[in-house]
Every structure is written in structure tokens, then in C-alpha cells.
Structure 1
Amino acid sequence: MEDDPIFDVITLGETMAAIHKQPESDLYRVSPAGAESNVAIGLAQLGCSTRWVSLLGGDNFGELVHDAIASHGVDVQAPRDARHPTGLMVKEINRGRSRVIYYRSQSAARHMDKGVFAHLAGSRWLHLTGVTPALSASTADLTAAIIQGRSGHNYKVSFDVNYRPGLWPDETTAARCLIDLARHADLVFIGDDEAEQLLGTTDASDIAAQLLRDNQELIVKRGAGAATYIGRTTVSEPAKRVKVVDVTGAGDAFASGYLAADCWGWNPSARLRMGHFMAARVVGSLSDLGPAVDPSKIAALAGSESSQPTSEWSKPK
């Protein structure tokens, strides 16, 4: 059996170098973009100890991604692959809507293999998303092996369905893979739009009936609407009302807030409120990451004195 966890959460998945054209300018900004690293950074912003695991190209973009993520206090375990490049994406935003163009068909992360297992031990949670199995046949096999082969590890698996139609050959293939992975996770995040496409329903009880087995927990997200938790009990919490600038990264931020609150021992309602709090900070900006978090604003979200975090949060190690 493992010793006490070193990290609160370990995440695994591809992060690309994202190129953004600056508003009313000919200048471009380059920053990291990846669902799993977004979650790791969000958790680090909240004082949780996190690690991000991946594979990067042996190029300048790989160096940029590595250093940018590490600068947030995340432990980065992403070896460099000299044979394949770091994935790239170009993000265009017009009137509040974003369009993304990917250059990742030969990216290093598509070639991740079981060598990553060496970096996955020693955490409370391992967070994965449905993006990774969509990258290639090998990463699909890797994701299944990680979720289904946890013998000797104490961590629980959090799985965000994160259905990206453009990455899959068809909806049927995606549903077959993602539903099976969700059924093996301890905690599942799914949007109501994803559930309608993959399961044919937006009803939380129906979604739970199709996905959950014994001792699993489900979070159904509804964008600007309420999020619902189904586990030993069922509760819902409304989203915060904010001006929406760009929704990219909102689901990742929600997951980071929820997982942080779980690590603090908060109850399900408080975890949902923390998820909404983090998501609201992201949709109000053009960045995939929200601004730095003021710790004084966190305790009120717990909702009860018994659920509030300790005075000393866990720190990155």
C-alpha cells in the first residue's frame, strides 16, 4: 500500500501552446492550453498540492508550456520527446464566441505510454478527462489502463467526460469509450449538453442510472444553470450570475474548485458552490484561468462552520 499522499490531486493529459491574437492589435500571445493542466493550476491557486503529467515536444513551445505551468506552483512531470512536436492551437475570439484551430495530429502527447505510471502514485485524487482517450488509440488504451488498473494505489479517480466531437470519428465511438470510462471512475463530471449527445437525456436521475455503479458520485453541470450532485444524497446549487466573456476553461475551473473543496472535507453542496465560484472567475475573462484567489472570500462558500477549511491549507511539495 502507498504512504500518505504527497499531492492532493494529480492530473494527466495534453497541454498545447495556444496562440491568441490580441484585440485590436497585430500582436499574438502564446500561453499553455489544456484541460488537465487548467485543473492543476486552479487547484494550486487554492493552495492544494498538484502535479501535472504529460509528454511535451523537444521544442521551444514545450519549454514554454512546462515553465508556464510550473510557475503556478504545479509539479510538472512532462518528459521531452525529440521525435514529435508540442501540440499547437490558434484561438480566435469574435463577439464573445471563440473558434479554435488545432495543429496536434503528430503531437508528442498522442504518444504517451505506460511510462507515465511512474508519476501517478502518491495522491488523493487522479483527475482525467475524455480528451486524452480521443487523441489516439494508444492514449485511449492508456486511459483505460489507468482508470481500471489501480491495484495497490490509494487514489480515487475523477473523470470529466469533456466530450469534444471534433476529436472523435463519430458520436457512437465516443459514447462507447467515454461511458465505459465513466463507469469505472469514482467521481464523474458531465455537462447536460454532453449527456444529451452521449446518453440521450439531460435528466440527472437518468444520467446517474446509466453511468453510476456502487459508491460513485456524479456531477451534472448545466452551464449558467444549477449543478447537481448525486451520490449518497442528491443536492443542487445555482451558478453565480456573471457577465460572460468566454466560456473556455469554465468546466476545468469548476472541477478544480470541486476537488479542492473535497480535499478540505466540505460537504457536497459546498463543493458545488466552490466549483461555481471558480468557474465564474474564468467565464468573466478571456483567459482559460481565473485571477488569483483571495483566501478571505473562500470560507463563506463552505456554508457551515464544520465544513470550512483549516487555517493552513495543503501546500505544494
Structure 2
Amino acid sequence: MRMADGIVNTVAAAPGLVTVGETMAVFIREPGQSLDRYRLTAAGAESNVAIGAAQLGVPARWLSCLGDDDLGHFVHDFVERHGPTTTVEWDDVLPTGSCVKEVKPHQSRMRYYRSTSAARRLDRLDLASLRGVAHLHLTGITPALSSENAELVDGLLRDRGDVGSTSFDINYRAQLWPDAEAAARALLPLARLADVVLVGDDEARCLLGTDEPEEIAAALLRRPDQELVLKRGGGAASLLVRGRDAITEPALEVEVVDLTGAGDAFAAGFLVGRLWGWSARGRLRLGHRLASRVVGVAGDVASGLTRADVAEVAHETGEIVPKMMGALQR
């Protein structure tokens, strides 16, 4: 319950966040490494959000399909090692998707090997673990992989069952679509179904032809209870709701190693703050704080926030740190 002064009065028992989507095995070559030296890690927009939520003490689950191969088992173990529980459909025919990443400060180079990956058939997943979950997070990467996945995402957003709320990060990836027009036809209707829509200003320019906040909100929001989060890369992020003034928070100034995964970390912080009942400013600042950790490393996952970090954000915005944070490092 939120009191009139904007401070959270009570915080309910730990809610749950579930994500559905592909995670790949990623071979990273960092600056200064020789051509034959790569580090193996894992990355996927949806599992990144689940990991970020778990780092903040929220029970999180990631659902996906993986090849029953060495890379698939590595990906599964990587995600679970970072906090979320998993529901995985193992495929003994289709392989686990993979990616080669060359890290550069402002634009890392990615080469994907996912055209026949097991995650193209997420429609085969057992969705029983979605029952009663507080929040379901999906992204525009999933429907780009196959028509079956597109139908799955559409169905989950249209008929949520007893899922508390939904979010959709547009996550436009040009290499996954024939052109921007095809992506817009598929992704914009999905975004309009979600309770929370996340989009970057660069994505909005490509898909909507504008980066003006009011025009983006008019194009994507259909209900007064929907929220639009407009991300501006390394700049500010804004929360827009129909009939209300936009609320904007600047990003933190930090040294950038690699921007990949920062948007997912921001989404995790924002959504966790929403589950906690935090104000708009608290949610935006928590998202920025988590994203600032990820841009400082070469992979998509960084060390989580401490209780002191979260307490600092809470103090700045008049929130209360939930008891679920108590088990995390101080």
C-alpha cells in the first residue's frame, strides 16, 4: 500500500517474476586478447532480466528450450548459478544457439548462430509454472525467431490467465527481421497488449519514425493503466502514462566497457521496483543503478547491488527496502 506522501507502508511477501526466451552460449573476445582466445559465457535478454531480478532478492524463473548438448547444459547451469530457477525443454535434434562477440566500448560486434536453434520452438514449453506468477516479462526477440514463437508471445499477452501483470521490451534487432517495416507490423501490436512497454529511442525512430515521447506514447499505449518506459541509451529514461506528466531520471555517469545487456539490467531493476510498489522515480533509479554495473563488464551479467546500494536509492526517493533484501550482502 502506498501512503499519501509516496512512502511504501507495507511490502507483501516476495512476488515472482518469470521470463520466456532464448539464451545462447556466447564466445567473447575482449580487447587485447589474441585471435585464438575466447571466454565462454551465456546471454539472452530474458534470462538477463531474470538474473537481475534474482540478484535483487525476487524469486525469478526463466523458461526456454535448449539443445541437449554441451553448450545447452552450460547455458542452463550458468543461468541457475546466477539465481533464477529454470524450466527447460531439452531438444535432442536442434542445437543450442550460439554467438561470437567482439567487445568494443560503444558498439560490440555480434555474430549469431541461431537459425536452427532449439529456442525457435518455444511453443513446446510446459507453461504450468506461469500459474499465479506476479509478473511475466517477454521481449521482441522471441517472436523474431519463428512464427511459432510469435504465436506463443501473442497468446501469452492476450490471455494472461492468473498472471498478475505483463511487460514487453520491444528489443528490435535489425538482423532478425527482413526490414523495419516487417518488424513494426509484428512488434507494435504485441507491445500494445502489455501492461508495461519498454522501448529505446533508437528503436522508436526505426519502427515508429519518431523519438518524441508523446508521439511514442500515443502510438503504443491503449489503456490508462499501461506504462511506457522510454530508454535513451546512456542518457535519461522516462516513464509515461496517458493523462500524466512524464517522469524522467538521468542515467549514472560510469566508465563503459560494453553496453550489451544494460537495457536488460535496467528492465530488471525497473520491474523489481514496480513489484515492490516503488514510485516511478524509485523504479527508474533502481533500473539505472543496476544497468551501471553491467556496462562496466564485458558480459551481460555483473555483480548485483548490495543492500546498501538499494537502501541509497530508497533513501533518495522515499521508499522502503523490502525484507527480502536482507539476505543479500551488505
Say yes or no: TM over 0.5: yes
1:286 to 295, 298, 306: 298
Q: 1:148 to 1:6 in 2, by over 3 A?
A: farther
TM-score, normalised with respect to structure 2: 0.90
2:97 to 69, 87, 98: 87
Cα distance between partner residues in 1 of 2:105 and 2:231: 24
Shift of 1:311: 2.9
Q: Which runs of 5+ in 2 are unaligned?
A: 1-11
Deviation sequence 1:103-122 (CA, Å, 0-9, x none) = 11110000121534223223
Aligned to 1:273: 285
Aligned 8 A contact 2:136 2:163 in 1: no
Shift of 1:27: 2.6
Matched, 1:241 2:253: yes
Give runs of aligned pairs for residues 135-284 of structure 1, distance below 5 A. Answer: 135-150=145-160, 152-214=161-223, 215-231=225-241, 233=244, 234-284=246-296
Give runs of aligned pairs for residues 107-118 of structure 1, distance below 5 A. Answer: 107-113=117-123, 115-118=125-128
Aligned to 2:53: 43
Matched, 1:16 2:24: yes
The alignment partner of 1:173 has SS state of: helix
Q: 1:314 to 1:49 in 2, by over 3 A?
A: farther
Deviation sequence 1:258-291 (CA, Å, 0-9, x none) = 0111122110011000011111111122121122
Aligned 8 A contact 2:67 2:92 in 1: yes
Shift of 1:11: 0.4
The alignment partner of 2:18 has SS state of: strand
1:129 to 139, 147, 150: 139
Q: 1:186 to 1:315 in 2, by over 3 A?
A: farther
Q: 1:179 to 1:5 in 2, by over 3 A?
A: farther
Cα distance between partner residues in 1 of 2:305 and 2:291: 12
Aligned 8 A contact 2:237 2:251 in 1: yes
Q: Which amino acid aligns with 2:258?
A: D
Matched, 1:75 2:48: no
Cα distance between partner residues in 2 of 1:176 and 1:55: 26
Cα distance between partner residues in 1 of 2:126 and 2:264: 22
Cα distance between partner residues in 2 of 1:83 and 1:144: 26
Q: Which amino acid aligns with 2:239?
A: Y
Aligned 8 A contact 2:17 2:50 in 1: yes
Matched, 1:97 2:81: no
Bigger mean CA deviation after superposition, 292-301 or 166-175? 292-301
Aligned 8 A contact 2:266 2:286 in 1: yes
Aligned 8 A contact 2:64 2:125 in 1: no
Q: 1:217 to 1:285 in 2, by over 3 A?
A: same
Aligned to 2:4: none
The alignment partner of 2:103 has SS state of: strand
Cα distance between partner residues in 2 of 1:296 and 1:66: 30
Cα distance between partner residues in 2 of 1:165 and 1:178: 12
Shift of 1:313: 3.5
Cα distance between partner residues in 2 of 1:131 and 1:10: 16
Aligned to 2:7: none
Aligned 8 A contact 2:281 2:317 in 1: no
Q: 1:144 to 1:257 in 2, by over 3 A?
A: same
Shift of 1:304: 5.7
Shift of 1:39: 0.5
Q: Which amino acid aligns with 1:224?
A: G
Cα distance between partner residues in 2 of 1:244 and 1:162: 21
Cα distance between partner residues in 1 of 2:94 and 2:251: 41
Shift of 1:302: 2.2
Cα distance between partner residues in 1 of 2:28 and 2:234: 25
TM-score, normalised with respect to structure 1: 0.93
Cα distance between partner residues in 1 of 2:171 and 2:22: 13
Q: Which amino acid aligns with 1:189?
A: L
The alignment partner of 1:112 has SS state of: helix
Aligned 8 A contact 2:56 2:305 in 1: yes
Q: Which amino acid aligns with 1:208?
A: A
The alignment's C-alpha RMSD in Å is 2.0
Aligned 8 A contact 2:19 2:62 in 1: yes
